[in-house]
Structure 1
Amino acid sequence: MPDSEEPSWPSSDEDTGSAKLPDQEYDGQSTAQLRVPPPASNGSGGGPTDNFTVPKITPEQEPKSWFAAKVPPPPQEEQPWARQAPPQPVGQQDQPQQPPRPEQQRPEQPRPDQQRPESQQPPRPEQQWPEQQPPRPEQQRSEQQQRRPEPPQQQRPDQQPPQRIDMQRLEPQRPEPPQVRQPQRPEQQQQPPERREPPRQPEPVPPAPHMAAPIRIEPTGESHPAEATTESPVTKAEDEPKPKRKKRGLLIGVFVLLLVVALGVASALPQVSNRFKLPWAPNAPKGDEPVPVAVTLSLHGPDTDGAAPTAEGVANAVKAAAGSSTLGKLTGSVVDPANGAVLWDKGSSEPLTPASTTKVLTAAAALLAVDHGFQLSTKVVQGTQPGTAVVVAGGDVTLNAFAAGKDNFYPGSAHLDDLVAQVKKANPDIKKIQLDLSAFAGSATAPGWAAADAPSTFMAQVAPVMIDGGRTAPLDDHSMRVSNPSGVFAQKFAEKLGASAAGTATAPEGAKVLGEIKSAPLTELTNAALVHSDNLLAEVLARQVAIATKGEASFAGGAKATLDVLKQNGFDLTGVELSDGSGLSTLNKIPAKVLSQVLAVAAGPDGKDPRTAKLRPLLAGLPVAGGSGTLEKRYDDSNSSDGKGWIRAKTGTLSGVNTLAGVVLDTDGRVLVFTLMSSTAGNSDTDSVRAALDVVAAKLRGCGCK
C-alpha cells in the first residue's frame, strides 16, 4: 500500500484487551502503546530510536491510487517533530528495522522542548483490530471518502504510540517498501506523536496524503510493508459529467415513454383507428368484402325523352271514370309539364269554388315573392313604463309551449321558453306584458266564412301571434281552437315570466330588444300549409305576400297581393277571384286551368323556365296518395289503388265542393299534371265524391296514354 494512501482502521479508542505493558499505566479507555523496536545494527549509526523518520514524498513521487481523491490537500507546514516512525507489529519489536535508502534520508533534528500546536498535528490513522471483519473494498472506498479528520487530541508524554496492524491489506501484493529515515534525538528517545482521531461525520473529505505505510504480517511472524494496489478506477472528478448524461438519458426515456403512451391512446380512439384503417377500428371489416351484385332501381326520375302521351290516349283512359254521376259537375284538365301541352280538358276555363286548392295559389305567390329562408319573428322590447315589456308579434302562429327538445304540431317551431329565458336575462324586473298586434290588419275572419268556421276544429281567428296554432291539444290537428289565441299567448308568456298580461300597446320606436325567437323557414311553412291543409298558416302566408309587396296584411290585402304576384310572373288569372288565402271562403273562384298552369311550371324540366326553381318546393308540400296529409287515408279502394304512392295532390273540400289538383307519374315514366273540380250541390256524401275523384286520377297512372 503506498505511503500516500490512508488505511481504514475503525476503532473506538477503547482497549478491551487485558494485556498491558509493565511500564505503562492502564486506565481502561486509552489504547495500549507498543514500543517501537530499535533499528538493526548495520553501521549506519544512531541510537535505538533517534534514527526513525518518515520520508517526505513530493507530489511528483506520490503514487497514484484509487484511495486518493483528486482534491489538493490542505497546505501543511512540514515540521521535524511531526514525522513518525512506522509502527511495528506486535511480536516484532526486537527485530531491527531496515535502514532507509540514502537518497531518501533527510535528517531533521527537532528541538526536544518544541511541541506542535494541537490544531496542526497530523491525523493518526484509525486502528483496526484483528478480530474485526475487514470490510469489502467498495465499502472501504465509501467509508474513506466520507471520513473527515477530527481535531487532534493531546498525547500523554508517558505513553508510546500503539502499533497499528492493518488487517485489510493481507493480499499478496508486494511493491517496493518505502525507505524511512529515523531522526536522532540527543536527550531522549523518540518523542511519541500526539494521537489524533478522525471524526465520524457523513461529509466526505480526501484522505491525508502522507501517512505511514501499513504493515503486512506473515503467518511466520515476519512483517512486510503492504503492496500498493494497482487498481486505478476513474476518480470522482472524472465521473462528474456522468450524472448529467444519466439525467439526460432519463429525461429522454421518460419522453419516449410518454410519446408511446400518447400514440397508443390516440390509436385507440375510433376516429383515429378508422382514419388509418387500424385492425381494431370499429369500422374495420369483419370479414371479406361482399361480391358486388347487379341492382335494378325500381324508382327513377321522370322520363322526358320517351314517347309523349297523346290527348287521345288520356281521353280514353279517363273517359269512364270522369263520366261518373257521383261527381256532379266536373271540370278539369291534364297537362304535360315537359312541354306545356294540354292533353285533356273538360270545362277548365269555368271558375268554380276551389275550396282548399286555393292554397296552391297562395303558396305559389309566397314562394315567388318571399325569400325561401325567411322566418317569422316574435320579438320582445322594453316598454315605455318601467317593468313593462311589449311583445312585437310578427305573424308566427306556430310557437311551441313544450319544453326544449319536444316538437308540437309544427316541427322546427320556436320555443316559448327560449324567449322567456332571454327576457329574464335582459331584464329580470319585468312585471307587465303587453302585445303589439299591428303586424296584421283587418278583421279576424274573412268574407265568405261561416260563423262557425272560427274558432273551429280547422280554423282559429287570425292573429299575428299564438301558441300551437291556437289548438287546445297541441298535437291534435282536429282539436278545437281557442277563441282568443293572442290573449292566450299573452297570459301564458306572462305566467312564465312571473308577470301579468296588460292588454295591447304599440312598441316604442327604437326600444331595447329584450329577446327574439324565429319560426321555421318559409319553405317548411308552405309544406305544412299544403300537407295538412292548414288554413291558419295559409292566411299567414298570404299576409307575408302582402307585406313583401308593400300591401296591407289583411284578408283583402293578402288576396290582392297573391293575384298581383302571380300575374307579374306570367300566369293567366282570368276568372280568378279570391277573398282569403286558405279557401274557406265560398266566394273564391278559380278555373281548373289556372291551377294546372301553376302546377305545370312547378313540375317542369329543370332550367327550362326560371319560375320552376322557385316553385319546385310546391310539389314537396303536396300530400302523397295513401301516404301523408289529407291523402293518407285515401286510395284504399280497389278502383283507385293503382295511384297509391304515385299521386301527389292538394285536396279541397267544402259543402258540395270537392277538388283535387296535383301530379302523377304514369307507367311510362312521364309526369302528368291534373286538376279535377267537382260541384255537387245536392250531394252531401263527401266520401263518395272523393273516391270518385281518386279513381279518375288513378286512371292517369296506368294509362300509358299513347
Structure 2
Amino acid sequence: MARPRTTPARLVLLVLALLLAVTGYLGVGAGRQFLADRAFTPIRVPAPTAAPPGVASLLSSASGPPAAAAARPDAPAPTPAGVAAALADELTDPELGPSVAGQVFDAGTGTLLFDQRSAEQVAPASTAKLLTAAAVLAVRQPTDRFSTRVVAGDQPGVVVLVGGGDPTLSAAGPGKPTRYAEAARITDLAARVRASLAGARVDQVLVDDSAFTGPATAPGWGTEDTPSAYASLITATMVDAGRDAPDDEIRSAEPDLAAGNALAAALGGAAVSRGSAPAGAKVLGQIRSAPVSVLVEQMMRASDNVIAEVLARQVAIATSRPASFEGAAAAVSATLASAGIKIGDGMVDGSGLSVLDRIPAAALSATLLAAVNGKQSRLRPLLSGLSIAGWDGTLLDEHRFSGPAAIAAGSVRAKTGTLTGVSGMAGLLTDADGRLLVFSFVADQAPAAFDSSSRGAVDNLVAALVRCGCR
C-alpha cells in the first residue's frame, strides 16, 4: 500500500506545531536571555591549560592594572577624533538599532575618548553584574566567606538548616566534583552534625530562610523566569545556585527545600519543611562558602543570575539594609555612590534580568575605571572575572568575535548583556598600539538582540577599537 504523501499544507502545520512547542518550552524569559549570555545553557568550560596569546600577563600578574592583552604604558595615546573615526561606520550598523549609548576611556590617563548618550538611562541587561560585583567587593573583603549552619531544634530529633546566603553550597556527593569550584558541601555539614549528635537520630529537618526577606522574584521578572535554566527563586538557603541537584540544568521551584532535602539525605533520611531556628539554639555544624572573590568571578564569567542576586543581598546585609530585592538594589546604588559611581535608583535587581532595570551607561565605564585604578585593588576579582574574547565565559560562543571581529580574540576582556531589544558589552581592550582602553556600549533598541548578527554588531564596535591606534 502506498504511503500517503505529506502535502505542503501539512508541512506548514507541522512546522507551526514545532515552533509552538519550542516556544512553550523555552518561554519568553528564555527568549530574553537564551544563548546570548550563556544563561539558558549554563557554561561548563574546561579549565584552560595555557593562556591564549596576549593575556598571560593578566592571568598571572598580582599587581598593576590588568590588561586585556599585553598593554604598554608607553604606547601612543589615542585621540577622541581617532576613536570617533574608528567607530563611525560600525555605529550605523542597522543590527544595533537607532540608539547606542557608550563611552571609551584611555585607561592609563582616564581621558574620555568617546561619549554618546552615556548619561541617559538604558537597560543594562547582564552588564549590571559589573555593578553588583563592584559593590560586594567594596563592602566585603575578597577573602570573606558566608556561613551555613545547622542548629538544634526545639524538640529531640529536629535540626534546623539556617541559610546564610551561600549560593554555591553543593549537594554533590563525597568525592564527586561540585558544579562550582571551591564550593562548600552539604555532606561535610552533615558529617559535623552527626558528630555533634553522637549517633542521635534526626527525624526532621527544618529550613530557616529568614536571612533574606521580601518577594523571591523581582519586579520585571516574568513567571517563566523561575524556575528556568537561568534563574530560580532567590532564597538564603540553596544548593548549587538554586538547583535540586548539581547536574540539573533547570533550577528548582523550591530552592530552600531542595537544600533541606540534600541535608536530610546526607543525614540518612528525614522529613523536610520550613521553620525557624529557636533563639540561642546550639550550633551542631557549620560550613563556609567559597571566598567572595571566587563567587564574583563565577557570577561574572557564567553570567549567573542567581549568584548575582545573592551577592546583591550580601551588600544589603553588610550595609544594614533589608536583604530583599529593594534593599539590595538600594544598597548597591548607595555603595557605588560613595565611591563616586552614580547609577541612580533605576535598578530593581542585582543581575540585570529585570526588564525594568535602568542605569546610565557611564556607570559601567566608571566601575571599570575604578577597578583598573591601582587604588582600588580589592576590585581586582571584577576584572579577572571578565570573559576573554574567543577564550572563555560568555565570549567563548562560536558566533562571538568571528569574521572580521576575530582580530579582537585574546585582546578583549568584557561582560556581555542581552535582553529583548538590548545588546551590550563593557570591558577592557588593548588597541593596535598597545594602549589599554575601557569601553561600554549598550544598544537599547536592537531589533534582534538574540541573533548572532546583532551580537556581532557589538563585537564589531569593540574590534574596531582593537584594530586601530586611533590617533
Normalising to structure 1: TM-score of the pair? Answer: 0.55
State the partner residue of 1:389: 159
CA distance in 1, matches of 2:83, 2:363: 20
CA distance in 2, matches of 1:464, 1:338: 40
State the partner residue of 1:454: 226
Structure 1 residue 646 displacement after superposition: 0.7
- CA contact under 8 A between 2:420 and 2:450: conserved in structure 1? no
CA RMSD of aligned residues (A): 1.9
CA distance in 1, matches of 2:217, 2:349: 9
Secondary structure at the aligned position of 1:466 is classed as: coil
Whose helix fraction is larger, Structure 1's or Structure 2's? 2
State the partner residue of 1:91: none
Structure 1 residue 681 displacement after superposition: 5.7
Cα shift readout 1:462-510 (whole Å, capped 9, x = no counterpart): 111122123356246xx11121111122122112213423422221232
**1:669 matches 2:439:** no
CA distance in 1, matches of 2:345, 2:258: 37
CA distance in 2, matches of 1:407, 1:370: 27
CA distance in 2, matches of 1:618, 1:370: 13
CA distance in 1, matches of 2:146, 2:55: 40
- CA contact under 8 A between 2:186 and 2:262: conserved in structure 1? no
CA distance in 2, matches of 1:487, 1:673: 43
Alignment gaps of 5+ in structure 2:
1-53, 58-69
CA distance 1:554–1:651, shift in 2 (3 Å)? same
CA distance 1:310–1:299, shift in 2 (3 Å)? farther
CA distance in 2, matches of 1:368, 1:348: 24
CA distance 1:587–1:685, shift in 2 (3 Å)? closer
Structure 1 residue 299 displacement after superposition: 6.3
Aligned equivalent of 1:623, options 387, 393, 409: 387
- CA contact under 8 A between 1:599 and 1:662: conserved in structure 2? yes
Aligned equivalent of 2:306, options 522, 525, 536: 536
- CA contact under 8 A between 1:326 and 1:692: conserved in structure 2? yes
**1:493 matches 2:271:** no
Structure 1 residue 325 displacement after superposition: 1.2
- CA contact under 8 A between 1:408 and 1:475: conserved in structure 2? no
State the partner residue of 1:71: none
CA distance 1:647–1:589, shift in 2 (3 Å)? same
Cα shift readout 1:633-678 (whole Å, capped 9, x = no counterpart): 1435222001111111111111111111111011222110111101
What amino acid maps onto 1:318 in structure 2?
L
- CA contact under 8 A between 2:333 and 2:342: conserved in structure 1? no
**1:586 matches 2:355:** yes
Alignment gaps of 5+ in structure 1:
1-296
State the partner residue of 1:356: 126
Structure 1 residue 342 displacement after superposition: 0.8
State the partner residue of 2:297: 527
CA distance 1:497–1:670, shift in 2 (3 Å)? same
CA distance 1:615–1:685, shift in 2 (3 Å)? closer
What amino acid maps onto 2:289 in structure 1?
S
State the partner residue of 1:323: 92
**1:313 matches 2:77:** no
State the partner residue of 1:436: 208
What amino acid maps onto 1:447 in structure 2?
P
In the TM superposition, 1:218-257 aligns within 5 A as: none
CA distance in 2, matches of 1:538, 1:456: 16
Aligned equivalent of 1:511, options 277, 281, 293: 281
- CA contact under 8 A between 2:386 and 2:414: conserved in structure 1? yes
Structure 1 residue 600 displacement after superposition: 1.3
State the partner residue of 1:119: none
- CA contact under 8 A between 2:423 and 2:446: conserved in structure 1? no
- CA contact under 8 A between 1:437 and 1:464: conserved in structure 2? yes
Structure 1 residue 451 displacement after superposition: 1.2
Normalising to structure 2: TM-score of the pair? Answer: 0.82
Aligned equivalent of 2:409, options 626, 629, 644: 644
Secondary structure at the aligned position of 1:539 is classed as: helix
CA distance in 1, matches of 2:114, 2:317: 38
CA distance in 1, matches of 2:461, 2:71: 21
Identity of aligned residues (%): 43
- CA contact under 8 A between 1:434 and 1:504: conserved in structure 2? yes
In the TM superposition, 1:335-350 aligns within 5 A as: 335-350=105-120
Secondary structure at the aligned position of 2:356 is classed as: coil
State the partner residue of 1:64: none
Aligned equivalent of 2:367, options 598, 618, 633: 598
What amino acid maps onto 1:426 in structure 2?
S
Aligned equivalent of 1:471, options 237, 243, 257: 243
CA distance in 1, matches of 2:151, 2:245: 30
**1:686 matches 2:451:** yes
CA distance in 1, matches of 2:356, 2:55: 45
What amino acid maps onto 2:356 in structure 1?
L
Structure 1 residue 361 displacement after superposition: 0.6
CA distance in 2, matches of 1:705, 1:638: 21
- CA contact under 8 A between 1:445 and 1:462: conserved in structure 2? yes
Query: Where has structure 1 moved over 3 Å in runs of 4 or more?
Result: 297-301, 681-685
Structure 1 residue 531 displacement after superposition: 0.4
CA distance in 2, matches of 1:685, 1:490: 37
